Each structure stands twice: as C-alpha cells, then as structure tokens.
Chain A
Amino acid sequence: MIGYYLDLARRSLRRNVALTILMILAIAFGVGASMTTLTVLHVLSADPIPGKSDQLYYVQLDPRPVDGYKEGEEPLYQSTRQDAETLVRAKQAERQVLMTGGGAAIESQQVGVDPFNVEARWASADFFPMFDVPFVAGGPWTAEDDDAKARVVVLAKPLAEKVFGTTDVVGRTIRVESNEMRVVGVTDTWFPTPHFFDLNTGAYGVKELLYAPFSTSRELKFGRNGSMNCWNSHQDPEALGAPCEWIQLWVELSTEAKRADYYEYLTAYSRAEKEAGRYHRPPNVRLRNVMEWLEHNQVVPNDARLQMWISLGFLLVCLINTVGLLLTKFMRRSPEIGVRRALGASKKSIFTQLLVEAGMIGIVGGVLGLLLAWLGLWAVRHQPTPYAALAELDTQMLLATFGLAVITSLLAGVLPAWRGCQVTPALQLKSH
C-alpha cells in the first residue's frame, strides 16, 4: 500500500511544482537555520574536560578591606599571589595549580623566521597532570623545577614545529624573551574550549603555545595577560605581598567529601589570616567545579543564544507556512477524497496517504536542511567570532538534525492529513 501512496504523493506533488518547492524550501531553511545555531550553541556549552570537570575546582577567597563589605557577596574573582603561593605550597588538595596568562617573544633558530609573539601560560607543575594535558614528547616539569625557578618550557606542537620543524625537541633550547630555555616536553594539540581555567584571556579561540613555571616567569619578568585589580596602590602590583588579584587557583578533589574538607580548610585559612591581621572580612570562600564556574561566568555569548531563538522562531513560521499550504491543498482535494472514501477507503488509509505526501515534503526538506546547516556552519566558520573555528557538525548533532527534520515533517503533516480525512463522502459526491 505504501508504494501506492508514495506514487500518489509523487503525482500530487508534481501537479503543483512551484508550491511543492516552496513547502520544501520553507522546511529546509527552517531546519537548516535552527540546526546551525543549535550546533553552535552545542559546541559553545560543551564540557571542556569531560570525565574530570566535576573534580576540578576554582578557588575564590576574599582578602579585601572591610569597607564596602556586604554579606553574601561574591568573593574576589581571582587570587592574590600571596594566597595562591601559600595554598599551592600547603598541598591540602590532591593537586593544586596557580597560573596566569602571558605572552612572550620567541626567536626562532630556523633561518628566515622573524621573531614572533605567542600566547603563553605561566603555571605551577601540577597544571599538566591536573588538566590531563597530552604530550607527544617528553613531559611536564617538576615541582622541584618550580622551586628552583628552572629555565624550562613546555611547547605546544604547533610552536615546536614552527621553531624547530619537528616535535622531537626535548632537551633543546629555545630563546624566550632573550632567555635560553630548555624544552622538557611538547604537548599534543590541546586547546580546551571554553578556555575554562582562565576566562580573562577569552573563553573561546585562545591558543596558548608556550608553558613555563610561574616562578621562572616572575624571575625573568615575562609579560602577563589577563585582568588585574588592585584595591590599594603598590609599587609593584605583581610582587608577592601586593594587594592585587591576578592569579587563577585551581585544585583537584576527587570526591564530595574531599570538597567539603577543602572548603572547611579554606574557611579556617581565611579565619587564621584574619586573626593574623592580613584579612579583614569574615571568611568568604567559593569552590566551584568546572561546569559551575562556566555557568557562573555565563561564558556562552548571549548573541549565540539570541541567534538560536531567532532561528527557532524562523522554523516555527516556516512550519506554520507549510501546514497552512498543505491544509488548503488537501481541502481542495476533498472531492477526490470523497470519491475514494465512497469507494471503500477507510479514514485511516486516507490519513496514511496524506501523511505520506506530507512526510515526503518533510524528508526532502530535512535532507536539504541538513545541507543548508552544513553550509550555515561553513558561513559561521568565516564569521569574525572568536568561536568561529569550533562550528563543526558532530555525530550527535547530525542525528539531532535528522530528528528535527522528521519531527518537523510529522508536525507539518499530521494536522492537514487529519483534517483532510474528515471529509464526509456523501456531501462531496452530492455537490458535484
């Protein structure tokens, strides 16, 4: 029977080609636009470090002066160098890392390559095991290197290839801001998105290519990137005791119980600092895991959400358009349907027949919509947004697109088909 219905549908659709094309295109554009924006939103709100995001916590404390204090307000956004170094040295979590974004000039040994600037990260040794950074050669530096302010660096693969033409460079030296630094490891391509561990330098599109110990970076006065806020003037805002926040502090805690313990520890630490006269406010501590931290910072750009809502609105209009046109079309075929009913076709088979016709439009529109989504994502990749490069269709979204197309076509077909099969045969036959 389905074969017959398909044939009927094909004939019916060919009877008014312009209208058929209009309905197919409406569905296709609606599905295409929606899938494009949904995919963008999907990649933007993805978990940057799946499997571990619930074990990594961002630490916030409140060393500010007492005036201006409001109970329950957010603590300081970042850490002071003093707190960060103290807490990293205390080793009360399974792992802990302090860090800041930076930038450095690299002079290449390759002939013909001019000096160039790279984005960098100055961090302590736990950075690599904590964030599961993959290595192609060598490995991280050690805590002893941190203490010794050792002249060591880890390179990202693209930088190693640019400077040396190979990733097999462990033990070789590279000139960073006129200093000879020894390469201890080369990371595989690793650009977590969003750039969760430091949102100051941008949540998307950040490509840090060079890593060096934080202690070394201060010794050699490497440049830092990100945001710095001071609540009192100080001769050197980057100095150990300066009243400035500019360091990100992360800890690894594998269980809820350890999280609770560490929270207690930070509270006790704040209280002790207050008694010692360095803190002035009651303990004000936050420990957020990766997804909580991203949520708190609302990293997904509002424009991306807005675009999703607009495209869904667009899809709705396209859908209503198609429903309206199909309905009118089926109603116009009432005489034909009346004859079929009178000749013994059941309501159900009329319904199926009409649904097959609607479904054909939906499926063709859906497939076309998938192509349009693919085209749309290509267009997004050429937009001037920092997340442009991320806009790729993955399997999950591919399946979702098919799902959306099928649901759309069913929605578009059910109402017209149901109305269409309500025809009273006698009435239709009589009037003609």
Chain B
Amino acid sequence: MHFMPILSTLRRHRTAAALIVLEIALTCAIVCNAVFLIRDRLSRMDRPSGVAENELLRVQLTGIGERADAQAITEQDLAALRTIPGVKSAISINMIPFGGSSWNSSISTKPDDRDAPVNAGMYMATGDIVETLGLKLVAGRNFNSDEYVPFDDVQSETKGIAAVIVTSATAEKLYPGQSPLGKPVYVMGSTPPVIVGVVDHIVRPNDANGIDQRPYSMILPVTVPFNMGGNYLLRVAPDRKQEILAQVDAKLDGVDPRRIILERQTFAQVRAKYFEQDQAMARLLLGVSIALLVITALGVVGLASFWVQQRTRQIGVRRALGATKRDIRRYFQLENFILATMGIIVGMALAYGVNMWLMDTYGVDRLSAMYLPIGAGLLWALGQIAVLGPAVRASSIPPAVATRSV
C-alpha cells in the first residue's frame, strides 16, 4: 500500500482531516488523564486498614446530658454485647479507621519538642484494641491489664500513661533503624509512655493530616467511656453480622434506655461511606471516557462514510483498473491509521500538558508513562473498528460505477 496517494488525498481535505485529528488528539488527552485519575481513585479506595474488616461491626451512640456513671455504663454495655452469640469481643473506642473524626497528637522522642517529627492518630479504648481489631503485633507485646488508666485521670494529670503501642511506620519515623521497644514517646503529660509493642498497621480515621501521613498511629492504654468515643466495635463471626446487629439495640436499651443509637454498621459500610465520593468520581470519569470514545468513533464513521460516498466514482475507476476489494478496504483502513496516528501523537503531547496543569492546580500525581501506550492502543483499535463498516462498503462498490455518469 502506498502512503503518497493517501496523503495527497488528505491534503485536499485538509480542514476535515485536521478536525478529525484534533478530535482524536483531544479524546486521547482526556481519556489518558481520566483513566489515570480513575486508577488513582481506585487505589485510594483499596487502601489497607490493617484491621479484620470482615469481622467488625460498629455501633455509634451518644448519651443525653452529663453522665457521671458513663464508665460504669460502658463496662455494662460491653458485657451485655459480649453475651450476644457470635460476638467474640467488644470495645468502646474513641475513633475508628475510616470513621472520619479523629484524635491526633504530635509525638516526639524528646520532651517539649516544637518540631516534633510525627503527628500521629491516637487510638484509645475500653477493652483490647489489638485483639478486637485483629491487628498484627510484629514486635513486643500487647498491654497488660494493669496498664490501663481512665481518660479523666490522664487529663487531670493524676495518673500517667506507662505504655504505648505504635505502628511500624511510626516506630521507624521515631527511631529509624533501631528497635523501638522500651524507648519513650513524648505525647501528652510530662512522663512519657514507653513503647511496649509494634503493630504492623492501623490506618488513621481520615486524611486531614495529608494522605501520606495515614500510617502514623499509636494506641494508648487509656479507657474511654461511651459518651466520649461514641463507638462500640464488635469482633464477630463473619456469617452472623446481620443477626448480631439486629440484637444490639435491645442489649444496650437493657442497660440504659436513655441513649441515642446513631449508627449500626458493618465495617464494609463504614469503608464504603468513607470512599463514596471517590467512587462517584471514578464512575463519572469512566462515563465521560466512554462517551468521548463513542462520540469520536461515531465521528470517524460519519467522516469515512462521507468520503466513501464522495469517492464512489474514483473507487469504481480504481476497481476497473484492477484494484482488488481488499486494496480498496486497505486504503480506507490505512487512511484512518494515518489520521489516528497523527491524532495520537498530538494527543500524547496534550495529555502530558493537561497532566502538568492538573499537577500544578489540583495536586494530582505525574501521569505514568504506561497510560500513553494504553491510550494510543485504545484509539488505534477504536479507529480501525469505526472505519471497518465504511471501508467494507467502499470495497463493495462495483467497477461498473466508473462507467456511469454521475
């Protein structure tokens, strides 16, 4: 097949050719970036929490008025919840992974450090966090039962915190390359707790401190009443979640009916809620990408059909002079390939430019080079599929057309 005749034909339809090239280029640029953004959202949603998600239930509640006996009620609630068949353990916790609202503190290896190296999420619970959340202890030990102190005593500074468990990322940040066990962490109060254990990972409740800060958390042996944390977390048998959730209200009302139960959720629901905007955005981007590809494909079909109609006589002449059906079909396919290639080349540059602008304005990451061949392949394939119909129609024009006057 010869390029030259195709190019000279295209040169005669310069404006139309330029428009289709531009359309392919823009589609390529937008789709490359959209696919990249979709990937980005999906990977955000895949973020590991570090907890046994399939076995966790969350009950969120709040009290009415000031309660002096809140801690006692909390203990009774937890005892009542543990009697539900299928519940393995239950805790009252101040915040939960992907829960949104968070407790944080700057922590350091030195006292009164204004340039503390880490700001970490601060998990505290009445009950065993490591066991209930299914955290993986990679070094040291869990808290001993005599290490737990009530939150009120910590705040009034009548009692200090002796121990802390940190995530491995936090340990590495505080004491890089060393064993963190037995080392102090300056957090609140003047006497620092020492690190007794390291857990693999527990994600923070939100990204408020920056998305790269999410692995920095610690667990303190501080007991919190239900009206402070607002969350009960239950570790349950995975196949009995709904049945257990249905019994929660009655158990809690049995202890004290003057509470408001705000949420009864599986952890999957907590996660879905936290990422629902990312999911919506990913869906929207996907929809726009598909719509763009469809429009562009239809544009190619429309343009090719016109050109086939316009060149009917010319095709007849070529057929009469000995060109095979295949030659004619190939002509249109190659023509489309040339247009698509030009569009893709311009589109790559545009995609890169759009990405630079997005990086600048919206802080998205740099477009990874692997999206460019994906976009190119997609548009080549799309162009060839779109042109196939008109090309076959062109190839079936009989040579006799050449002899007819138009």
Which residues of A approach B to under 8 Å, CB–CB? 19, 22, 26, 29, 33, 65, 67-68, 103, 105, 107, 114-117, 177-179, 220-221, 223, 233, 235-236, 302-303, 305-307, 310-311, 313-314, 316-318, 320-321, 323-325, 327-329, 331-332, 383-385, 415, 419, 432
**Separation of A323 and B21 alpha carbons in the complex (Å):** 13
Q: Are B285 and A310 neighbours in the complex by a CB distance under 8 Å?
A: yes
Q: Are B64 and A178 neighbours in the complex by a CB distance under 8 Å?
A: yes
- Give chain A nearest CB distance to B233 CB in angstroms: 20
Q: Are B302 and A306 neighbours in the complex by a CB distance under 8 Å?
A: no
Given contacts A105-B63, A303-B281, A325-B302, contact A235 B292 (CB under 8 A): no
- Give chain A nearest CB distance to B375 CB in angstroms: 14
**Separation of A308 and B16 alpha carbons in the complex (Å):** 28
Q: Are A233 and B188 neighbours in the complex by a CB distance under 8 Å?
A: yes
Q: Are B362 and A332 neighbours in the complex by a CB distance under 8 Å?
A: no
Given contacts A221-B66, A324-B20, contact A305 B188 (CB under 8 A): no
Q: Which of B78-86, B176-184, B216-224, B305-313 contacts A (4 or more CB under 8 A)?
A: B305-313
Q: Are A178 and B15 neighbours in the complex by a CB distance under 8 Å?
A: no
Mask, B1-39, CB within 8 Å of A = 1, is: 000000000000101100110110011011000100100
Q: Which of B44-52, B122-130, B293-301, B314-322 contacts A (4 or more CB under 8 A)?
A: B293-301
Does B114 touch A at the CB level, under 8 Å?
yes
- Give chain B nearest CB distance to A220 CB in angstroms: 8
Given contacts A22-B298, A178-B64, contact A320 B288 (CB under 8 A): no
The 8 residue pairs across chains A and B that have the minimum distance between CB atoms: A178-B65, A324-B19, A384-B276, A105-B64, A321-B299, A328-B306, A67-B114, A177-B65
User: Mostly helix, strand, loop or mixed at chain B's interface?
Assistant: helix
**Separation of A103 and B60 alpha carbons in the complex (Å):** 15
- Which of A26, A236, A310 counts the most B-chain CB atoms under 10 A from its CB? A310
Q: Are A115 and B303 neighbours in the complex by a CB distance under 8 Å?
A: no
B280 is contacted by which of A318, A328, A385, A415 (Cβ under 8 Å)? A385
A105 is contacted by which of B16, B62, B273 (Cβ under 8 Å)? B62
Given contacts A384-B277, A384-B280, A385-B277, contact A321 B295 (CB under 8 A): yes
**Separation of A385 and B278 alpha carbons in the complex (Å):** 10
Does B406 touch A at the CB level, under 8 Å?
yes
Given contacts A29-B295, A323-B19, A327-B19, contact A317 B65 (CB under 8 A): no
Q: Are A332 and B306 neighbours in the complex by a CB distance under 8 Å?
A: yes
Closest to B23 in A: A320
Given contacts A115-B258, A233-B189, contact A313 B306 (CB under 8 A): no
> Cβ of A419: which chain B residues have Cβ within 8 Å of it?
15
> Cβ of A385: which chain B residues have Cβ within 8 Å of it?
277, 280
> Cβ of B363: which chain A residues have Cβ within 8 Å of it?
302
B302 is contacted by which of A19, A320, A384, A415 (Cβ under 8 Å)? A19
> Cβ of B157: which chain A residues have Cβ within 8 Å of it?
233, 235
B30 is contacted by which of A177, A307, A317 (Cβ under 8 Å)? A317
A306 is contacted by which of B188, B260, B305, B362 (Cβ under 8 Å)? B362
Selected A-B contacts with CB under 8 Å, 30 pairs: A22-B302, A26-B299, A65-B114, A103-B62, A105-B64, A177-B66, A179-B65, A221-B66, A302-B363, A313-B29, A314-B30, A317-B26, A320-B19, A320-B22, A321-B23, A321-B295, A324-B20, A324-B299, A324-B303, A325-B299, A325-B306, A327-B16, A328-B13, A328-B16, A328-B303, A328-B307, A332-B309, A385-B280, A415-B15, A419-B15
- Which of B20, B64, B260, B276 counts the most A-chain CB atoms under 10 A from its CB? B64
Mask, B262-295, CB within 8 Å of A = 1, is: 1000000000010011001100110010011001
Closest to B228 in A: A223
A26 is contacted by which of B188, B280, B285, B295 (Cβ under 8 Å)? B295
Closest to A432 in B: B406
Given contacts A116-B260, A320-B26, contact A105 B65 (CB under 8 A): yes
Closest to B61 in A: A117
> Cβ of B29: which chain A residues have Cβ within 8 Å of it?
313
> Cβ of A305: which chain B residues have Cβ within 8 Å of it?
361-362
- Give chain B nearest CB distance to A8 CB in angstroms: 19
> Cβ of B273: which chain A residues have Cβ within 8 Å of it?
384
Q: Are B298 and A117 neighbours in the complex by a CB distance under 8 Å?
A: no
> Cβ of B43: which chain A residues have Cβ within 8 Å of it?
none
> Cβ of B155: which chain A residues have Cβ within 8 Å of it?
235-236
Q: Are B64 and A68 neighbours in the complex by a CB distance under 8 Å?
A: no
- Give chain B nearest CB distance to A63 CB in angstroms: 15
Q: Are B310 and A332 neighbours in the complex by a CB distance under 8 Å?
A: yes
**Separation of A387 and B33 alpha carbons in the complex (Å):** 25
A331 is contacted by which of B16, B65, B362 (Cβ under 8 Å)? B16
**Separation of A115 and B298 alpha carbons in the complex (Å):** 58
**Separation of A328 and B288 alpha carbons in the complex (Å):** 26
Does B115 touch A at the CB level, under 8 Å?
yes
Q: Are B296 and A105 neighbours in the complex by a CB distance under 8 Å?
A: no
